Amino acid sequence: MRTSLFKNQDALAGLLFMGLGALGFAVALGYKFGTTIEMGPGYFPRILSLVLIGFGILTFIKGVRSCAAIEGGWAWLPLALLTAAMVLFGFLVERLGLVPALATLIFVSARAGHEFKALEVLVLTVVLSLLAAAVFVWGLKLPYSLFAWNF
């Protein structure tokens, strides 16, 4: 049984990926591309946008071939929680530091799922905070403070 293209979940996801990739590529055209040896500010966004478009094409083709229909409606609470988690991270990272902002991001995001277990989320928070500190603060020397308690 064939489903409408607008009720096919994988086809719609593929179109979304292709659209976001095309938008990202269009924005990146305003930046110098550079070369592989000397990358410009537009190099990574363009390459990443092309990869996203490629994933979109593959997902779209999979959707057209499988005809998987959308079941159910929108999950508004998880969508709102994930959006709030990202906004809170952006707001808190400079005010409280990287670790408290990551903890907020992870705990609020975890509440969007059905299988929330506080101990597992706490362990995940510790591991991801250590990893983020090691990579971004200590490894790449990015100017993020781990804790900034001055409000």
Among residues 70, 136, 78, 61, the alpha carbon closest in space to that of 102 is found at 136
- pTM for the whole structure: 0.63
Q: Over the stretch 53-86, which tens digit does the pLDDT of each residue have?
A: 999 999 999 988 887 777 777 788 998 999 999 9
Indicate whether 56 belongs to any domain: yes
What residues make up the domain containing 20? 5-66
Q: Over the stretch 92-144, which tens digit does the pLDDT of each residue have?
A: 998 899 999 999 999 999 999 888 889 999 999 999 999 999 998 898 888 88
Indicate whether 149 belongs to any domain: no
pLDDT bracket for residue 151 (50, 70, 90):
very low
**Count: domains in the chain:** 2
Indicate whether 112 belongs to any domain: yes
128 vs 131: CA distance, rounded Å = 5
Q: Over the stretch 11-50, which tens digit does the pLDDT of each residue have?
A: 889 999 999 999 999 999 999 888 888 888 888 999 999 9
Tell me: do 95 and 131 sit in the same domain: yes
Look up residue 42 and give its two tokens.
């537009």
